[in-house]
Structure 1
Amino acid sequence: MNTNRDNRNKSNKNNIKNIMDELDIIKTIFSNIKYTGNAVKSIGDDCAVFKLGNQYLTITTDMMFKSTHFPEILTPFQIGMRVITANVSDIAAMCAKPLGIVVSMGFDYPKKAFIEELIRGMDFIAKEYECPIVGGDTNKSKELTLCGTAFGITDNPVYRENGEIGDDIVITNNIGRVYCGFKILEMKNKGIINKNTFKNLLNEYPSIVKKLTEPKARVKEGVAINKYITSCCDISDGLGKDLKYMGNFEISSKKLLNAVPKDVVEFCTKFDLNPVDVALNSGEEWELLFTTKRYNNVEEELSKLGTKSIKIGKIIDNGCYIDGNTFKFGGYVHRWSK
């Protein structure tokens, strides 16, 4: 009997058990920070909020690494777009108007052509969001690392958890395409499909590829519905996780399927996937998830922007359910392992 090896195995198992995931780390940070100064809203929402006269300043930050955040099919231009969009989406989730962003960049072996395209992508989408890049930092890193910090302004910040009983739960546009895009990459990387099939799928599902590679923050939508909603967040880690911010709710899979586009349904049929599960676990969609008592006003304002609004359920007094069954939260959580 190899006692030393058995002891090492037990030690490794204990070490793995002791490694925290993203939610554990956030709880630990939150419980140990006591000083919040004059912040109106501190840790625990899409943005921190400070009152400035009759306005509110919203601040957010988002960090991305090449190995975990940038799908291999992204161009340097699209990577640049992505880091700006991820940060600005948090500003949109507070229904605020972006003011500007600073971006810190870590490079392993920087090449001029790559950096030029990266910055052009940042600048291109920053102009669309009316959120200028106004500073940042550069440093050496083991892999490409991009960290943005964005600022916004509003006279009415909308928080994640202010929904009230009877409110409709609504999402913008559609969800599910990003999940399918990652599924195509996963099948290729695992050898389930060959390179030709991979290329054919990218050509067959252009809207899926577009949503994966060039998602958009819903800035104009957030500003437009600010006065008509009670709570809001962006769908970044998947609806199945982000719904937890809504409090107690009942959602309908039938209504949720109204937010699943035809190409996603076709993809699910082709690869034997459940479209409801796909909709619940599709992260980095950056659509808005919100609650409202004034759906007709919301629908009218969003339609002016060419944006759809889909009701998927309601806030209730107790419990979390889908089709009357207890809801099992899903979505994406960053985890660490040995």
Structure 2
Amino acid sequence: MNELEIINLISKNLTYKGNAIKSIGDDCAVFKINNTYLVITTDMMFKSTHFPDILTPFQIGGRLITANVSDIAAMCAKPLGIVVSIGISKEYANKKFIDELSKGLNFMAEKYKCPVVGGDTNKSNELTLCGTAFGLTDNPIYRRAEVGDDICITNDLGRVFCALKMIEMRDNGIINKNQFNKLMEKYPNIMKKLCEPEARVEEGILMNELVNSCCDISDGLAKDLFYIGGFEIYSEDLLKAVPEDVLEFCEEFNINPIEAVLNSGEEFELLFTTKKYLKVKEILKKTDTKVIKIGKVIEDGKYLDGNIFKFGGYIHRW
């Protein structure tokens, strides 16, 4: 089975929704409280699948906060707080690791103004981190695009794909450790995007009233685009989202840069649709954030350059 099949099966059985106005199927669950909305999300990470060995304990803690807060940003909401549960294996049950991990949690929590306010610790066979973040907004933005919307992303994509490709080549013996270290030095921004990603919180809040739908790019554009509905995107525009270092890396290792853009997960940029593209572009200048238009929302079908678009990105399989 894959994770989508598992989620669909679980969703069929979770028929009781209580007072939730949005439950499974978006970046956050949503509850209305008086005249505002509480948004809630959770994200779980394991050592074997989420923490490459180049990450420091500080960066591991920071990535957990960013991944959770990014879902709050995808609702164009303001973070309020987060609780963190930690399953600690024998390998990591030492003062140095826990001290640095918790400092990383705190550093990113302070950056997003999203304090860690509690959680749980337990013994585990594998290092496991789970965050549950919550935020507030007067206007939650769902994955609910309108036909005719422009499809846009913030900043650029592809660096995480390239960073993981470096690690994959090292682990498969295509490059040795010395060559890997030289690549890390040659492409520092590629490695930084993997090790120290940032959630687009301020951007989400600023464009709240200007967009019709939004999600964060966590599993790769080729998967996250399917939340929109019908779409037509164009390679020419996708190439505008490729930074120079990714183009250089792709040329060096004979990789199609479009593949890198479409399949780069845990970027935590925002994918959104709007009929006010120029206004969004102007308002996000306040954060030095680029806005790149990559296509249009259409009534039916999913296309890249007129050809049927294939589902991609990252998905857990068993």
Q: Which amino acid aligns with 2:39?
A: T
1:283 correspondence with 2:265: yes
Q: TM-score, normalised by structure 1?
A: 0.93
Query: Could you tell me which of 126, 135, 141 is aligned with 2:118?
Result: 135
SS at match of 2:178: helix
Corresponding residue for residue 151 of structure 1? 134
Superposed, which structure 2 residues align to 1:205-220 within 5 Å?
Answer: 205-220=187-202
Q: How does 1:287-306 map to 2 (within 5 A)?
A: 287-306=269-288
**Identity percentage of aligned residues:** 67
Q: Equivalents in 2 of 1:333, 1:21: separation in Å?
A: 7
How do 1:192-271 and structure 2 match up within 5 A?
A: 192-271=174-253
**Deviation per residue, 1:313-335 (Å, 9 max, x gap):** 00012211000000001000001
Deviation of 1:297 (Å): 1.1
2:89: which partner in 1?
108
- AA at the equivalent of 2:230: N
Which residue is equivalent to 1:15? none
Give the Cα separation in 2 of the matches to 1:116 and 1:300.
42
Structure 2 match to 1:6 = none
Distance (Å, rounded) in 2 between the aligned partners of 1:283 and 1:80: 18
1:1-338 equivalences under 5 Å are 20-109=1-90, 110-160=93-143, 162-336=144-318
Give the SS at the match of 1:256. Answer: helix
Separation (CA, whole Å) in 2 of partners of 1:47 and 1:210: 27
The 2-side partners of 1:59 and 1:317 are apart by 30
For structure 1, the 5+ residue unaligned runs are: 1-19
Q: What is the rounded CA distance, in whole Å, between the counterparts of 2:59 and 2:186 in structure 1?
A: 20
Distance 1:159 1:72 in 2: 35
Amino acid in the other structure paired with 2:12: S
**Letter aligned with residue 321 of structure 1:** Y
* 1:5 equivalent in structure 2: none
> Which amino acid in the other structure matches residue 27 of structure 2?
D
Amino acid at match of 2:84: V
* TM-score normalised per structure 2: 0.99
Distance (Å, rounded) in 2 between the aligned partners of 1:237 and 1:317: 24
Q: Deviations over 1:67-112 (max 9, x none)?
A: 1100110000000000000000000000000000000001012000
Alignment partners' CA distance in 2, 1:69 and 1:205 = 21
Deviation digits for residues 130-150 of structure 1 (CA, Å, limit 9, x no counterpart): 000000000000011000000
**Match of 1:197, as an amino acid?**
Q
Rounded to whole Å, the distance in 2 between the matches of 1:308 and 1:314 is 18
Number of aligned positions between the proteins: 316
Q: 1 CA distance for matches of 2:170 and 2:105?
A: 29
| Unmatched runs of 5 consecutive residues or more in structure 2 | none
d(CA) in 1 for partners of 2:254, 2:179: 17
3-state SS, counterpart of residue 207 of structure 2: helix
The Cα of 1:168 is off from its aligned counterpart by 0.3
| 1:16 matched residue in structure 2 | none
The secondary structure found in structure 1 opposite 2:32 is strand
**Which aligned runs of 4 or more in structure 1 are off by greater than 3 angstroms?**
none
Separation (CA, whole Å) in 2 of partners of 1:318 and 1:148: 36
CA distance in 1 between counterparts of 2:247 and 2:88 reads: 39
- How far off its partner does 1:178 sit? 0.1
